[in-house]
Amino acid sequence: MEAEQAASEDEPPSLLWGLDPVFSAFARLYIKDLLLMRESRQVPGIYLYKSHPIFQVDILGTVVFKREREDFYSYGVDDGTGVINCLCWKSEKWKEPEEPFKAGGRAASSSSAVGPSGGFNVEEQLRRLQQAQRGASMLEIGDLLRVRGSVKTSRGQREIMSSNFYKVSDPVMALQISWMQELPQLYRRCYQKPFPLSDGEPGTCATTTGGQASFSSLLGRATQTLRDFLREKEVRRFRPYDVEHLLLPLVPQLPPLTGSEQASAAGPSVPSHTRHLLSETLRILQQEGTLFRRVLSQDELYHVTEQDKDLLMAIRDVIQQDSKRQKYAEKGCHILHILSSVRRRYSQSLSRQALEVGLRFLESSSDIISTSDCHYTVV
């Protein structure tokens, strides 16, 4: 009981997590530390190393086992301190056997990059590029793998859900040596130091406790303000400039921005304080799954998960259709299968958090039912 209380006291308030640079970065930690991190009591899916909140990591290691499934590869990665399972999603273009390019009714030669007229053969070069890309995404035991992704716990086992992965060519081990030299420095300079909450603490990026608490309080109010507005008005999609006026009453209370924050937050028509507060608010709402972006582009169009009828229909259709297959007839569709199918059908950038919000909404509407923590079927 005392240990649990001490762990709770060591955990900083979730509203302050955005003040820690580690939280928004891909943390480079030893695998042994990833396996030992404790899960946050405030927000499930967030883990703590010392007092630093972590959900995204960057690892480099050797593949020691491999399993292949319909939609993903499961690699066991060993960095010398431990082994962790990494789920690496298959790219759509590599799932089906590649057909050779044809020119003039005959298959193009695999050894020639010269066209029929002696010029540059675009098709052959494209085929070679695709082969190189495919080779970088298919690994065997003994290959060196770099993975970036979010930390998850599934069936009591810690694993990484990759957002990006590739095979590393390192014949003389130069990259591995550099990596293992850099990690101890990161631990000393960042991970081993406490969460920057106190004023004047050595090595932290804190300015004043009052300023941090003030911004965190305003950020919580801004998040709730935008969340209530979207729910009351039943907004389906919007751009940042559509809702910036909602946060204007909070701007005079904001603490001064640093020079770097002003440079990153400044916009052509939005005051830097408002832009900074709005960007942090949108980031939090995306992390909790309330919002998502269907297409990642310069046009910042945000979709409200519970109001996006097309997304909800895609989720329901996937569960309804695939629940009829023998593989899913007994327990229903697993959430990872649903996520993969909806990404193919609707949005490649859909996050698991947004999918979970959609699943809860459909379940509350009695469109689907959950047969376990991770399986869903139709009513």
Q: What is the pLDDT of residues 131-145, one digit of tens each?
A: 777 766 678 899 999
State the pLDDT at residue 230.
93
Give 3-state DSSP helix, strand, coil % of the chain, rounded to 5.
Answer: 45, 20, 35
Rounded to two decimals, what is the model's pTM?
A: 0.50
Strand partners, 76: 65, 85
Residue 355 has pLDDT above 80, yes or no: yes
Residue 4 has pLDDT above 70, yes or no: no
Tens of pLDDT along 246-282?
888 876 544 444 454 444 444 433 467 778 888 889 9
Tens of pLDDT along 293-351?
998 888 899 999 999 999 999 999 999 999 888 888 888 999 999 999 999 999 999 99
Q: Which residue has the higher pLDDT, 244 or 99?
A: 244
Least confident range from 184-188, 241-245, 250-254, 297-301: namely 250-254
Length of the chain: 379
CA 274 to chain centre: 26
Is the Cβ–Cβ distance between 345 and 314 less than 8 Å? Answer: yes
State the pLDDT at residue 117.
54
Of residues 45, 1, 52, the one with CA closest to residue 24: 52
What domains sit in the chain, N to C, each tagged with a CATH number?
Answer: 2-89+141-191 (2.40.50.140), 209-287 (no CATH), 305-378 (1.10.10.10)
b vs e for 347-373, b when ≥16 Cβ sit within 10 Å of the residue's Cβ?
Answer: beebbbbbbbbbbebbeeeebbeeeee
Stretch 194-215: mean pLDDT, rounded?
A: 47
Please report which confidence band the pLDDT of residue 159 belongs to, taking 50, 70 and 90 as the band edges.
very high
Residue recorded with tokens 């675009």: 122
State the pLDDT at residue 268.
36
Residue 173 has pLDDT above 80, yes or no: yes
State the pLDDT at residue 116.
53
State the pLDDT at residue 237.
94
Tens of pLDDT along 58-98?
999 999 999 988 888 899 999 999 999 999 887 765 555 44
Please report which confidence band the pLDDT of residue 3 belongs to, taking 50, 70 and 90 as the band edges.
very low
Strand partners, 48: 38, 53
Pairing verdict, β 237-238 and 157-168: unpaired
Is the Cβ–Cβ distance between 277 and 265 less than 8 Å? Answer: no
Mean pLDDT, the chain, integer: 80
